[in-house]
Amino acid sequence: MGRRLSTGNRCPGAPRLDVPAALWLHGGTMLDQPNRFFLNVTHSATGRAWRERLDLRGSQCALAMAQRYGVSDLLARVLAGRGVALDEVEAYLDPAIKTLLPDPDTLTDMPAAVARLADAVERGDQVAVFGDYDVDGATATALLVDVLRAAGLDPLFHIPDRIFEGYGPTVGAIDQLAAQGVTLLATVDCGTTSLETLAHARAIGMDVVVIDHHQAGAELPQAVAIVNPNREDDLSGLGHLCAAGLAFVTAVGLVRELRRRGHFTAERPAPDLLAALDLVALGTVADVVPLKGLNRAFVTKGLMAMRRRGRVGLTALMDAARLDGPPRPFHLGFLLGPRINAGGRIGDATLGARLLLTDDPMEAKAIAIELDRLNGERQEVERAILAAAEAEAYAAHGLADDGACVVVSGEGWHPGVVGLVASRLKERFQRPAFAIAFNGETGTGSGRSLPGVDLGRAVRDAVARGLLVKGGGHAMAAGLTVARARLGELRAHFEATLAADVARARAEGALTLDGALTAGAATPALIETIARAGPFGAGNPEPVFAFPGHRLSFAETFGAGHIRGRLTAADGASLRLAAFRCADEPLGQALLAARGRPLHVAGSLELDTWQGETRVNLRVKDVAEAA
C-alpha cells in the first residue's frame, strides 16, 4: 500500500482527502510536491519558472468550495489560490462595507480628530484641507472637503506644487493659510513626518489634524490628532488603507459625532457617504494598496457608484480618457489615475482635486481635457528620461545578475516623472529602483520596490544615518532628497540594506499560474465568472492562465514598443493578445520570433469594449517554448 499524504494546514472546514503518493499531474510532476512546475516550464522567455499556484491542500480546498457552494471549478481554484477559507466564500463573493468597516474609534486619535472637526462645524471655523499631489491625495482631499461642505462649512483646500513646494505642508503654505483665517488644518496623505512645519502651525495658533497612512517613526509631530494606522501605537489593523480610505473612515466618525450632537436636520440632511466610494475606489487602486478586506469592498462598491456616473468630474474624465464601457480596476489604474496624476507631475497640482469637487459640467470638461493633454505631455517627458535612465542602469549593471538596487540620476530630469521611471526600471531589472532628478547639488527622487522588500524602512534608516536630507514612504514606494556628495554612500547603503531581501524576493519570483485554458474557452462569460473573485490588484493578484501549445498566427509591434497578435488553438479557435512595453525585451523578441510556431503563452484575460462591441483580450506576461 502506498504512502498517504498528510494535508497539513488544509483549507479550514474542508474534508480530509487522502491521496496516493503515486498520483501524478502535469507532465510527470508528483501531486505531493508543492509549487510544481507548470507545463514543465523551468525557464521562460523572461527567465522565470512557471509554478502552479495551488498545492495539494489548495486543490482540496477548491474542490470543497465547488461542492459546497456550487461555484465553477475554475472560480473555486481562483478563490482558493487567494487564501479564501471555505467558510468565507459567500462573504468574499459579496463584500459588504457594513460588515467589514470597523468602528472608526479603533484608530488611535480618531475620537480627538472627529471631535475637533465637529467643533469646527458647529462654530463655523475656517478649515483648510491640505492634500498630497497624487491621486490618493486628490481623492482624499475631495472627499473630506465634500463632507465638510455638506455639514455646512466652506473649507479651503491646498495641493502643493511638486517642484516648488515638495511633499507635505511647508511653513510658507501654513502662513499663507493662516493669512486667510484658517484655524484648523486637516492634512490628508501627508503630515506624519512634518515635525518642524506642524510645530510652526501650533506656534501661530493653528490646530492640525493629520489623516495619513505613511510609515511613522517613534517621534510624531505636534497636532490635535494624528490618525495613522501605521503609527507604532495604533492597533486598528487598518495599515493597508490608503489616505482616501482613511478619509472615508474619518468621515464616518465625523458624521456619527455630528448626528450625536443633533447637527443634521430635515433642512440639512447628513451626507450620503456611500456616494463618495467612487473617490475611495479610485484612490485605493491608484495608490496600489492591497485589495483585501475593507479595501476590496471599497473598490467593489466604488466601481458600482462610478458606473452611475453621478460625479460630474469623474464622468468628464472618463469621457476624456475615451473609456468605452463600465469602469474596471484596470481603467482606474491606467486611464483615470495617470490623468489626475499628470496635473501634479507636470502641470497645476490642484487640477485633480478641482475636477473631483466641481459640479459644473463645463468646468469639468475643460479640466478633464487639460489633464488629458498633460498626460500626453507627461508620456513624452517620461520616455526621454527613461531612455537616459536605462542607459545609465545598463552601464552600471549590464546584463549581469548583480546588484541589489538600481539607483540612477540625471541633471535636469523632471521631478514629476522620476517615480514612473523608477517603476519601469524595477520592472526591467527585477530589483528595487530609484530615479533621482538633480538640480545643482541636491536631487529629489522616488523609488519603487519588489514585494517583500521594504523600501520605506531602508529610506528612513538612510535619513537616520544622515545620508539623506529627508525621505519617507512605505514598503513598495518611497521618496527622498539627497545631496550629490552623498549619492555614492546612499547606493552602498541600499546595496547593504536590501541585498538579502532582494535575493529572497527574486528567488521567489516565479510566474504563478491559476490554470490552463484553450482559446475557445476564453469567453466573456468566463471572465465575468472569474471577476466575482475580484477586483484584482495589489494583494489580490489577477488570475494568470496558460494557453498550452497555441500557434502564434500573427504578431506585430505597435505604439510605443508594444506587441499585438493572435493565438490560434488546434481546433481553429483564436484569441487576440497584447504585450506592453516589451518590443525590445526578451518577451517581445520571443513573440516576434515565434510567428507561425506553437508556444506556451501565459497571461491575464480582460474584456475590451470598443464602439459597443465587447471582445476578449489576453494580456501577455510570459511565453515559453512548447516542447
pLDDT in tens, 505-537: 887 778 999 999 999 999 999 999 999 999 998
Is the separation of the CB atoms in 85 and 69 below 8 Å? no
The CATH number given to 24-81+514-625 is 2.40.50.460
C-beta contacts of 521-528 below 8 A and 24+ residues apart: 522/575, 522/605, 522/616, 522/618, 523/616, 524/607, 524/614, 524/616, 526/74, 526/605, 527/605, 527/606, 527/607, 527/616
Is the separation of the CB atoms in 107 and 238 below 8 Å? yes
* Amino acid 613: pLDDT: 75
* Amino acid 474: pLDDT: 80
Give the count of beta carbons closer than 10 Å to the beta carbon of residue 298: 30
Pick from 549, 544, 554: nearest CA to 577? 554
Instruction: Tell me which H or E stretch contains 496.
Output: helix 487-507
Q: Which CATH architecture has domain 104-274?
A: Alpha-Beta Complex (3.90)
* Amino acid 401: pLDDT: 58
* Amino acid 261: pLDDT: 96
Q: What is the dihedral of CA 576, 582, 583, 588, to 10 degrees?
A: -60
Pick the most confident of 10-14, 17-21, 45-49.
Answer: 45-49
Q: What amino acid is encoded at 510 in this protein?
A: A
Average pLDDT value for residue range 44-72: 93
Q: What percent of the chain has pLDDT over 90?
A: 77
Per-residue pLDDT reduced to its tens digit, 135-167: 999 999 999 999 999 999 999 999 999 888 888
> Can you give the residue ranges of every domain in the chain?
24-81+514-625, 104-274, 399-507
* Amino acid 451: pLDDT: 85
* Amino acid 446: pLDDT: 93
Per-residue pLDDT reduced to its tens digit, 237-255: 999 999 999 999 999 999 9
The CATH number given to 399-507 is 3.10.310.30
pLDDT band at 12 (very low <50, low <70, confident <90, very high): low
* Amino acid 221: pLDDT: 95
* Amino acid 68: pLDDT: 96
pLDDT band at 414 (very low <50, low <70, confident <90, very high): very high
* Amino acid 363: pLDDT: 98
Per-residue pLDDT reduced to its tens digit, 564-619: 999 999 999 999 999 998 998 899 999 999 988 999 999 999 988 766 677 899 99
* Amino acid 535: pLDDT: 93
Per-residue pLDDT reduced to its tens digit, 59-89: 999 999 999 999 999 999 999 999 999 999 9
On the question of pLDDT at 118 being above 90, the answer is yes
Average pLDDT value for residue range 422-435: 91
pLDDT band at 14 (very low <50, low <70, confident <90, very high): low
pLDDT band at 207 (very low <50, low <70, confident <90, very high): very high
Half-sphere exposure of 495 (CA within 13 A, CB side): 11
* Amino acid 27: pLDDT: 36
On the question of pLDDT at 277 being above 50, the answer is yes
* Amino acid 330: pLDDT: 87
pTM for the structure as a whole: 0.87
Average pLDDT along the chain: 90
402 vs 352 pLDDT, higher one: 352
Average pLDDT value for residue range 431-449: 93
